[in-house]
Amino acid sequence: MDTFGLLSLIPVVVIIVFALITKDTFISLFLGVASGFLLVAHGHPLTAFNGFVAGLYTVLADSNTAWVLMLCGLFGSMVMLMQESGGVLGFSNLTHKVLKTRKASLLGTWILGIIVFVDDYLNSLAVGAAVRDITDKHRVSREMLAYIVNSTGVTVCAIVPISTWAAFMSAQMKTAHMTEGLSAAGAYAHAIPFMIYAWLAVLCVPLFSLKILPLFGPMKKAEQRALETGQVFSETSKEALVEIPDEEKRFANISCRAFNFLIPMLVVAALTIITEDILIGLFAAIAVCFVMYIPQRLMNVQKFFDSVMGGLVDMFPTLVIIVLSYVLIEVNGQLGLVNFVVDVALKTVNPALLPVTIFVVIGLLSFASGSFWGLAAIAFPIVGPLAAALGVNVFLCAGALVSAVAFGGHICMYSDTVILASASTQTTNAEYFRTSAPLVMVPFALSILVFLILGFIM
């Protein structure tokens, strides 16, 4: 494979620049991918196009891609079913009785995000769909809602020992011989206190929501717009939004029951824990919807399957973005982005600086590459032996590494978690990045300081 060195960063720079200019996720992602394949092809357009097609085939043939696409599509179907049954409106009416103020709606969203800790995908998709009506009532901007949803997604899943993140990361610790004689689960539990970024990112949400920490930058302007005008959507997000009919008028003469929303959600959560596969939970939940909604005469069989297909259609733009983001990861691999950064940054480091170096380098690499679990699988076998050789606490290094990939999932606009959180809150990825990135940098900067201190103390 050719070594592209610093040139491997070009696609990432292209994406960020065009995202800020165009505020369009697809255009910026496509241009980033195109620039990557042009680099690989040494500037030959036809070779670059053939490389893109080959990369597309590779991505679409991958079982993980199929799994994610099915998951997102089926979740779209389930949300459509719950909307058409009146279940979403029923749950919204229930939340109105509890979350009576703007601050309560913000904190309620934060708490719900913490409760749905089983899986980051489930969290990203479910929480936004559940609360966006109540936050709209209290004039919370969709940008702020997206920030809260994604701040309690990967971060919460990282610090809860029974999540899908914990299962994967603990296995990586075991492979990298970072367990210190403990079981994989026990070693991960010892690393959780050192997942500094995840803790700080979660804690920053109520601080911003209660204005203990003042909002600033584009998010402050978005919140001012929502409060002063009632426009919860930015103009960019509104243009990209499929028009949604007024649910209260549609269901004026129908009893909207909250359990038509809650039971399918509980089925997904329960089966995800039992089977460790959210896809099985989604299939089961859709079957439960059929068993519940038809006898209640909320819809007939044709309306049920029309809703299933309608949900798939609504998720199509999201599915395209996911595929394109995976193609970006593929071309980043061909450019040698990960190997270049890791080789340069981690192999000549002072022992006391190893934790903060791991966090900063892997965090920025996670943000740049859009890769999280894949990056962790590459980095753990490097970090483990390096920590042992330098005599650095392995649990501190593991916490720094998990924190780093959680940061990437929190800020990278073409990460799958940001894509899904943006879809559930009906804002664009580019708008999420523009407004949330400054807020995300607060826990990032604090984490650098904490890891720097811990490196010297421990």
Which pLDDT score, from 0 to 100, does residue 372 have? 73
This model's pTM is above 0.85: no
Non-local (6+) Cβ contacts of 219 within 8 A are 141, 143, 144, 147, 435, 436, 438, 439
* Mean pLDDT, residues 266-273: 81
> b or e along 54-78 (b: 16 or more beta carbons within 10 Å of the residue's beta carbon)?
ebbeebeeeeebeebbebbbbbbbb
User: CA 341, 343, 349, 351 torsion: positive or negative?
Assistant: positive
pLDDT reading at 50 higher than 90? yes
Q: Token match 């990056």: residue?
A: 375
Would you put residue 299 in left (φ > 0), alpha (ψ -120 to 50) or beta?
Answer: beta
Indicate the domain borders of the chain: 64-168+211-316
pLDDT reading at 185 higher than 90? no
> b or e along 311-334 (b: 16 or more beta carbons within 10 Å of the residue's beta carbon)?
bbebbebbbebbbbbbbbbbbbbb
pLDDT reading at 433 higher than 80? yes
Average pLDDT of the residues of the chain: 83
Distance CA(188)–CA(170), nearest Å, equals: 5
* Mean pLDDT, residues 233-247: 63
Non-local (6+) Cβ contacts of 61 within 8 A are none
User: CA 61, 65, 67, 70 torsion: positive or negative?
Assistant: negative
- Give the whole-number percent of the chain exceeding pLDDT 90: 25
Give CA separation, 264 vs 92, 113, 126, 453, in Å: 15, 17, 11, 46
pLDDT reading at 399 higher than 90? yes
pLDDT reading at 91 higher than 70? yes
What sections of 210-335 are H helices per DSSP?
Answer: 217-229, 235-240, 247-250, 259-275, 278-293, 301-314, 316-335
Which pLDDT score, from 0 to 100, does residue 80 have? 85
* Mean pLDDT, residues 441-453: 95
Which pLDDT score, from 0 to 100, does residue 115 have? 80
pLDDT reading at 169 higher than 90? no
Give the number of other CB atoms < 10 A from CB of residue 116.
24
132-146 confidence digits (pLDDT tens): 888 888 899 999 999
Residue predicted with more confidence, 379 or 303: 303
Distance CA(376)–CA(112), nearest Å, equals: 27
pLDDT reading at 200 higher than 90? yes
Residue predicted with more confidence, 15 or 117: 15
Which pLDDT score, from 0 to 100, does residue 207 have? 94
| DSSP structure class, residue 193 | G
* Range of lowest pLDDT (16-20, 27-31, 82-86, 231-235): 16-20
308-364 confidence digits (pLDDT tens): 998 888 778 778 877 887 888 788 888 887 777 666 666 667 888 889 998 998 888
pLDDT reading at 61 higher than 60? yes
